[in-house]
Amino acid sequence: MLQDPRLHEPRMYTTSADYVYTELRHEIITKQKKPGQRLPEVNIAVQMGVSRTPVREALRRLASEGLVLIIPNSGARVASPSRREMEDAYVVREDLEVLAVRLAAGRVSDRHLRRLEETLLEEERAFSERNLELYLEVNEGFHKIIAEASGNRVLKEYVENILARTNVYIVFYDPFYDIESNSSTTEHRAIIDALRAQDADAAANLMRQHIRVSQNSLDKPEDFEPRN
């Protein structure tokens, strides 16, 4: 499991690039850096006591995850997904996950249901600790288990891909640290119950509603002003 970002104690790193990557990723996920904010290589290198080479490598890794945008002849910035991009992605995610849960309802095993229950407990703990890094991991895990239970390997790969994309939006625009209660756990509980009952229609409707609630809970990109 990922480390609680509130503790964020010094750790041993294999390379300088690993160090820079982990530190920058932590700052982005914990919203210390905002969408559109510039990430000058020289400044980061000085602040972290490394050369520019590991900084450049770390930024490329973050860009591959969708957290950073590298613009030729301009440098790197924290990504700032547009409202249209987010809407398009959630349309795809909704259809993929509704199909996955509908298939899973007829094939889900006791092992899958136990894993979903365990993930739900971890999700509750992550939220209570306000650990966004852990929350993203276990939340994504919940949906991956359902995709796996569908029995369709191609669909599972597509679901994993779209989850990685929409998790980026959660990092930037979810009011995770400001809300008092988390409706996601209640919605996940209802989906588990529908799967256990092998009720494909109920599971599909619950998943569709869950995805739409998740999307609507995000702040809008225009609410954030890029930083220089």
CATH of the domain at 97: 1.20.120.530
222 secondary structure, DSSP code = G
Task: List the one residue out of 29, 28, 31 whose CA is nearest residue 39.
Answer: 28
Token duo for residue 192: 């588990």
pLDDT reported for residue 227? 45
205 and 93 co-located in one domain: yes
Dihedral over Cα of 87, 190, 188, 92: its sign: negative
103 and 176 co-located in one domain: yes
Q: What is the pLDDT of residues 176-200, one digit of tens each?
A: 888 888 899 999 999 999 999 999 9
Return the higher-pLDDT residue of 113 and 132.
Answer: 113
146 and 70 co-located in one domain: no
pLDDT reported for residue 24? 96
125 and 217 co-located in one domain: yes
Instruction: Look up the pTM and report it.
Output: 0.81
Domain that holds residue 201: 83-222
Assigned domain for 151 exists: yes
69 and 103 co-located in one domain: no
Assigned domain for 11 exists: no
Helices assigned H by DSSP within 129-178: 132-149, 153-173
Task: Judge residue 97's burial from the number of C-beta atoms within 10 Å of its C-beta, 0-12 exposed, 13-18 middle, 19 or more buried.
Answer: buried
Does the pLDDT at position 8 exceed 60?
no
Q: Are residues 35 and 80 in contact, defined by beta-carbon separation less than 8 angstroms?
A: yes
51 and 114 co-located in one domain: no
Assigned domain for 172 exists: yes
Token duo for residue 40: 């000058």
Confidence of residue 7 (pLDDT cuts 50, 70, 90): very low
Assigned domain for 92 exists: yes
98 and 196 co-located in one domain: yes
pLDDT reported for residue 14? 84
Highest mean pLDDT pick, 30-34, 51-55, 174-178:
51-55
